Amino acid sequence: MSQTLYQKIYQSHVVGQLNASTDLLYVDRHLIHEVTSPQAFAGLKQANRPVRRPDLTYATMDHNVSTQRRSMDAAGETSRKQLEALAENCDEHRIPLLDLTHPDQGIVHVIGPELGLTQPGMIIVCGDSHTSTHGAFGALSFGIGTSEVEHVLATQTLPQQAAKTLNIVIDGELSAHVTPKDIIMAVIGQLGTAGGNGYVAEFSGSAIRGMSMEGRMTLCNMSIEMGAKAGLIAPDDTTIAYLKDKPHAPSAEHWDAAVAYWRSLHSDADASFDKTVQIDASRIKPQVSWGTSPEQVIAVDQPIPAANDFTESSKQDAARRAYEYMGVQAGQKLTDLTVDVVFIGSCTNSRIEDLRAAAKVVQGKQVASGVRALIVPGSGQVKRQAEAEGLADIFKTAGFEWREPGCSMCLGMNDDRVDSGQRCASTSNRNFEGRQGRGSRTHLVSPSMAAAAAIAGRFVDITTGEWA
Amino acid sequence: MNPSIHTIFAGGLVCPLDKNNVDTDQIIPKQFLTSVSRDGFAEALFYDWRYLADGSPNPEFVLNAPQYQGASILLSRANFGCGSSREHAPWALQQYGFQVIIAESFADIFYNNCANNGMLLIALSKGNIDSLFNRCNEGPQQWHIDLKNQEIRFGNNAALGFSIDADIKQRLLSGLDFIGSSEQLAPKISDFEHSRKSNLPWLG
């Protein structure tokens, strides 16, 4: 019987049945960080349970860490305690930890792929919703809560029910200056933030095949913003080339067998999906979110929609609330909005390709006066690479702050925050009320759009005029 | 599992939160996530909506209205709990006193997190949710939730049925140990690990 990629991975991980509707699935990689794990370890201790497979568990410090100094003390008192708890728990259970002294420390969804921990066909979980990122490799990857973190630590398994399947077919050539970030934002704008609820979304089509691993990660990263349980992209030559020689990739002894297995990981030609959506990539323009939900998004050359443009009353109400919170009006042009802060970073857009795109826009220019602009590389590796390529110098010369790796201003758990009423062009993934700080006004954009906003001091259409 | 589980279905006062897409950043803002404890999150619930910038209660937020004090059932709209996987969100709701959430739909991770904490989440059609909000507009509501018979009872013999996943229902009613149930399959987990090692040896 023909199967989708999701169904193949799901079935190959069934350990047993818990009841008529629930299977127990084996977990190949469990990634943990400081925020969602301490209560899980406490639960294990209380029940006197060991960690079943510390060798399949990897930890990093990312959410709380200071991006100004590599010191746990720099994160503030309660964050320091949380970081220390992670270090103690990893030490006690012999779990590998990339702490602040490790050269490869970084955002969990940046370092997993970078180190080769993320591989096709795996099931990967982490107590973080953007675990969907790893789906770019054809690994079934999803975020879990702390009770589930405890469950995986104890059993290396997780109870699951089969999800519905969604095929998002993206064909066509991307226009100049249009990035995977713009594609996923346009998809979310079309499907809505609940459009993927109950589904695992597979991305396919010519635009995906032509996309780099970094781009695929950006795409899968934000599949959670449309409510999908996971995003998935079938592995191909691009995936295999990326993984070759990564520290945790299969050794030479197993490489050929692994590649042969990975090549079998695709949806069968006649597999049927519960739902299919077709997207023409060539029609997508640079996207900017205007409201407080990722679905409130438009192309940079479109006016902010009027409440009456929406048919559902709930969306009309949400638009009215968003105008007030964001300090914008229906009909307003995005290019008339000035920005106070620019943030280039996060598990969505902090990889080397993102920084290259931003540097290309910035080179030879200066950050507009009064704009605070931050570049927060996703990992130690990204940071070193960007410095070696001269990107860091381009940013610093232009007036950007060049920081240490961490989640930073995406969610402002550390001291990188946007002040109340300030407008931020951000390459992150959520524009919820207060996400970057109480009263902060977040506009989600691609790295090149964020870079251009930093230079111009307002949003610009990078497909036109001097920017094109 | 939570010892309060068997008391949650008796029913209680309903608080109507008339919004779509109530996200986890609203349910519990990030500054409360640095705790290493499972407790102490009740005050953090809906913090930025519930309190003004000076720390005083926001009189316009529904949770602060006198008639909704002591509410244990939260009524909301579509895609409740979207956003992050933080289990602090259900912890905050539960510790504040909410045992049941009724909405048009829920985000997947949030739904699982609530079930793992013994909370009952009821998804209903938009039409039914509209009618429940209409009831709330008539005055404070006390509803009884009968999970066994899958009914919300309003008094005067009026009731509304709901559907729920059979497995979740069973877990809520019996208070099954989440990890303990899976541990019963421990021999199968070991078998799986053996065959995984021989078939896909690079996985470790």
Mean pLDDT score across all residues of chain A: 97
From the list A18, A21, A85, which residue is nearest B165 (CB)? A21
Contacts of A314 in chain B (CB under 8 A): 20, 77-78
Q: How far is A48 from chain B (nearest CA, A)?
A: 12
Test A194 with B188 for CB contact under 8 angstroms. no
Asked if the model's pLDDT at residue A404 lies above 60, the reply is: yes
Distance from the B183 Cα atom to the nearest Cα atom in chain A, whole angstroms? 7
**Residues 6 or more apart whose Cβ sits within 8 Å of residue B170:** A19, B176
pLDDT band with cut points at 50, 70 and 90 for residue B2 = very low
Q: Is A85 on the interface with B (CB under 8 A)?
A: yes
Helix (H, G, I), strand (E, B) or coil at A275: strand
Which chain B residue shows the shortest CA-CA distance from A14? B192
CB A226 within 8 A of CB A191: yes
Distance, in Å, from the CA atom of B137 to the CA atom of B158, rounded to the nearest integer, reads 17
> Which residue among B35, B82, B116 places its CB closest to the CB of A193?
B82
Side chain identity at residue A205, one-letter code: G
Tell me what pLDDT residue B9 has.
63
User: Do A339 and A458 meet the contact criterion of CB atoms below 8 Å apart?
Assistant: yes
Per-residue confidence (pLDDT) for residue B177, from 0 to 100: 86
The verdict on a CB contact (< 8 Å) between B36 and A85 is yes
Do the Cβ atoms of B107 and A197 come within 8 Å?
Answer: yes
Contacts A50 to B, Cβ<8 Å:
none
* Beta-carbon separation of A227 and B108 below 8 A: yes
Please list every residue in chain B whose beta carbon sits closer than 8 Å to the beta carbon of residue A346: none
Measured between alpha carbons, how far is residue B8 from residues A343, B44, B118, B152 in Å?
44, 22, 9, 13
Burial of B183 (0-12, 13-18, 19+ CB in 10 A): middle
Given a cut of 70, whether residue A12 has pLDDT beyond it is yes
CB < 8 Å to B185, chain A: 15-16, 18, 24, 157
Instruction: Give the pLDDT confidence score for residue A389 in this predicted structure.
Output: 98
Span A434-461, average pLDDT: 98
Alpha carbon A332 to its chain's center? 29
Q: How far apart are CA A34 and CA A61, in angstroms?
A: 6
The residues in A 258-297 lying below 8 A from B, measured between CB atoms, are: 258, 261, 293
Q: Which of A206, A254, A247, A201 is nearest to A225 (CA)?
A: A201
Q: Is pLDDT at B100 greater than 90 in this prediction?
A: yes
CB contact under 8 A, A15 and B183: no
Q: Indicate yes or no: CB of B113 within 8 angstroms of CB of A145.
A: yes
CA A239/CA A30 separation, integer angstroms: 21
- pLDDT the model gives residue B5: 45
Residue A402's SS3 state is strand
Q: How many helices (H) and strands (E) does chain B have?
A: 8, 7
Choose among A21, A145, A412: nearest Cβ to B85. A145
B166: DSSP letter: H
At residue B3, the pLDDT reads 38
Name which of A157, A194, A293 is nearest B105 (Cβ-Cβ).
A194
Please give the DSSP secondary-structure letter assigned to residue B57: B
Across the interface, whether the CB atoms of B36 and A42 are under 8 A apart is answered: yes
For A223-259, the DSSP string reads: GGGGTBSEEE----HHHHHHHTT-TTSPPHHHHHHHH
A151: closest chain B residue by CA: B179
Q: Which of A36, A32, A146, A38 is nearest to A84 (CA)?
A: A38
- Pair type for strands A14-19 and A22-26: antiparallel
Residue B10 has pLDDT above 90, yes or no: no
Average pLDDT of span A342-347? 98
> Is residue A406 within 8 angstroms of chain B, CB to CB?
no
Chain A partners within 8 Å of B23 (Cβ): 293, 430, 432
Banded model confidence at residue B1, pLDDT cuts 50, 70, 90: very low
Given this model, what pLDDT does residue B11 score? 81
Please tell me the distance in Å from B154's CA to the nearest CA on chain A: 26
Q: Above 50 in pLDDT, residue A292?
A: yes
- β-sheet with A157-160: strand ranges across: A14-19, A22-26, A157-160
Cα torsion angle, A8, A14, A17, A23, sign: negative
How many Å lie between the alpha carbon of B201 and the closest alpha carbon of chain A? 7
Give the model's confidence band at B60: pLDDT under 50 very low, under 70 low, under 90 confident, else very high. Answer: very high
DSSP for A356-371, written as a single string: HHHHHHHTT--PPTT-
| ipTM of the complex in this document | 0.95
pLDDT recorded at residue B155:
81
Partner-chain contact B23 A432, CB within 8 Å: yes
State residue B106 phi and psi, 5-degree precision: -130, 150
Is residue A120 a contact partner of residue A18, using CB atoms and an 8 Å limit? no
Query: Does the structure show a pLDDT above 90 at A371?
Result: yes
Helices (H), A264-351: 313-326
Measured in angstroms, the CA of B3 and the nearest CA of chain A are apart by 15
Instruction: Please list every residue in chain A whose beta carbon sits closer than 8 Å to the beta carbon of residue B166.
Output: 19-21
| Chain B touched by A57 (CB under 8 Å) | no
The model carries a pTM of 0.97
pLDDT at B4: 43
Q: Which residues of B touch A49 (CB under 8 A)?
A: 179
**pLDDT over 70 (residue B79):** yes
Answer for the pair B89, A121: CB distance below 8 angstroms, yes or no: no
Q: Hey, what long-range contacts does B141-146 have (CB within 8 A, 24 or more apart)?
A: B141/B13, B141/B14, B142/B11, B142/B12, B142/B13, B142/B14, B143/B11, B143/B12, B143/B14, B143/B73, B144/B10, B144/B11, B145/B8, B145/B9, B145/B10, B145/B11, B145/B73, B145/B100, B145/B120, B146/B9
Compute φ and ψ for A206, nearest 5 degrees.
-65, -35
Residue with more model confidence, A291 or B3:
A291
Mean pLDDT throughout A317-323? 96
CA atoms within 13 A on the CB side of A56: 25
Percent of chain A surpassing pLDDT 70: 100
The encoded tokens of residue B134 equal: 């209409």
Question: How many interface pairs between A and B have CB atoms less than 8 angstroms apart?
Answer: 184
Q: Which two tokens stand for residue B91?
A: 């912890």
**Distance between B157 CA and the closest CA of chain A, angstroms:** 31
> Nearest C-alpha of chain A: how many angstroms from B152?
24
pLDDT for B32-59, tens place per residue? 999 999 999 999 999 999 999 999 999 9
